[in-house]
């Protein structure tokens, strides 16, 4: 059966949430009292906000009977959400729970008017319901909502944490993940563990032995060694060879010209070229990137960029 690893490996207990120690410690204190206030979980996606809400509910109640998850960006609008909240909130909690919990995902996607409506709903059901609002930026929420919640900030996961998590999946799924592959996944996912897990699953469907090359193929990026070589050839005036290299990257590694420019930009400070060279390249990159955004043919622009690199 096909199963998404982001669901299969979702933490079951608060203790399994990684990289958010302070937050977890404070939430456990609530659990031990059997009580939570309204909570606001802020942070980029894939840092464990939904997982934390689910495990929190489980540890409070031992099940998720008194829990519902709604998405604020539900295109049917705030009225639908309010009706759903009302339906859920007006019946008593099941068992001996003293309140119900509503997780509202993407709360910062709501318009200001919708947020006012949400605020009133929160007030109306404050006796029987707790809200956990999930958002990218707490500053996008109106002040009266913020002040009704205890705010927790979720940090992007660091390389060690991501590695630990991927290593667990490696063992469970009988994979072999190279050190370079982990590094490439980390660079690409930028602390978003959902993205890291999805990349790993895509790689594993190609091969159980996961090399850096497979990762780069899945995410459509070039090896950093190749990028460096491409630039050096062009800087030294070897335009035809650098052009050949460019075509190789596109055909063999499936890299697109505009992604390549972005990649050069993101790794420019790691390349072994002089600082002056780096500055010069960034200025050129800005020109060519702008032209691509304005609608010029990306391949022609990338070739022109390479041609202009010669000292
Ligand atoms: N801090 C974390 N600890 C453990 N797993 C995490 C963490 N952050 C993300 N994940 C994993 O990534 C996936 C997405 O997590 P989720 O909690 O839905 O993130 P968010 O709600 O912040 O977007 C899940 O599979 C989960 O197992
Ligand atoms: Mg979420």
**Which pLDDT value is given to residue 75?**
66
Closest ligand 1 atom number to CA of residue 8: 25
**Which pLDDT value is given to residue 273?**
81
Strand 100-105's sheet: what is its strand order? Answer: 67-71, 100-105, 129-135, 39-42, 150-153
**Which pLDDT value is given to residue 240?**
93
Domains assigned to the chain = 5-153 (3.40.50.300), 159-219 (1.10.8.60), 224-307 (1.20.272.10)
- Those residues whose C-beta lies under 8 Å from the C-beta of residue 12, and which sit 6 or more positions away, are 55, 58
Q: State the DSSP string of 60-101.
A: HHSSSTTEEEEETT-TT-HHHHHHHHHHHHSSPPSTT-S-EE
**Which pLDDT value is given to residue 238?**
93
For ligand 1, which residues put their CB under 6 angstroms from it?
Answer: 6, 9-11, 17-20, 45-51, 157, 193-194, 197
Closest ligand 1 atom number to CA of residue 105: 21
Distance CA 225, CA 221 (A): 12
Q: Measure the CA angle with vertex 97, ends 91 and 24; round to 5°.
A: 120
Atom 25 of ligand 1 has which residue's CA nearest to it? 6
**Which pLDDT value is given to residue 36?**
94
What is the mean pLDDT of each successive set of 10 residues along the chain, which is 311 residues long? 88 96 96 94 95 94 89 78 86 87 92 90 91 94 95 96 96 96 92 95 94 91 87 92 91 83 84 86 93 90 93 75
Give this prediction's pTM: 0.81
**Which pLDDT value is given to residue 82?**
84
**Which pLDDT value is given to residue 57?**
93
Atom 9 of ligand 1 has which residue's CA nearest to it? 48
Q: How far is CA 80 from CA 39, 74, 83, 122, in A?
A: 22, 8, 5, 15
Q: How far is the CA of 241 from the centre of ligand 1 (A)?
A: 44
């Amino acid at each position: 059966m096909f199963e998404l690893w982001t669901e299969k490996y979702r933490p079951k207990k608060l203790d399994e949430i990684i990289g958010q120690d302070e937050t977890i410690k404070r939430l456990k204190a609530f659990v031990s009292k059997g009580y939570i206030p309204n909570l606001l979980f802020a942070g980029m996606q894939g840092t464990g906000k939904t997982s934390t809400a689910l495990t929190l509910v489980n540890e409070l109640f031992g099940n998720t009977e008194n829990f519902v998850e709604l998405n604020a960006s539900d295109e049917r609008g705030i009225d639908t959400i309010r009706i759903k909240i009302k339906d859920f909130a007006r019946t008593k909690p099941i068992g001996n729970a003293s309140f119900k919990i509503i997780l509202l995902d993407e709360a910062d996607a709501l318009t200001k008017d919708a947020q006012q409506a949400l605020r009133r709903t929160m007030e109306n059901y404050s006796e029987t319901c707790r809200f956990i609002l999930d958002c990218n930026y707490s500053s996008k929420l109106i002040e009266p909502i913020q002040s009704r919640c205890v705010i927790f900030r979720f940090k992007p996961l660091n390389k060690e944490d991501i590695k630990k998590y991927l290593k667990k999946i490696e063992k469970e799924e009988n994979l072999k993940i190279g050190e370079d592959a982990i590094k490439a996944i980390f660079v690409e996912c930028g602390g978003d563990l959902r993205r890291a897990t999805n990349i790993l699953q895509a790689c594993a469907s190609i091969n159980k032995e996961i090399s850096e090359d497979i990762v780069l193929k899945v995410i459509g990026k070039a090896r950093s060694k190749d990028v460096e070589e491409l630039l050096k050839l062009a800087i030294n005036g070897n335009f035809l060879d650098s052009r050949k290299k460019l075509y190789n990257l596109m055909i063999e590694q499936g890299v697109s010209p505009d992604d390549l420019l972005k990649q050069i930009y993101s790794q420019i400070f790691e390349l072994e070229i002089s600082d002056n060279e780096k500055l010069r390249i960034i200025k050129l990159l800005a020109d060519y990137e702008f032209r691509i955004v304005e609608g010029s043919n990306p391949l022609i622009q990338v070739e022109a960029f390479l041609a202009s690199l010669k000292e």
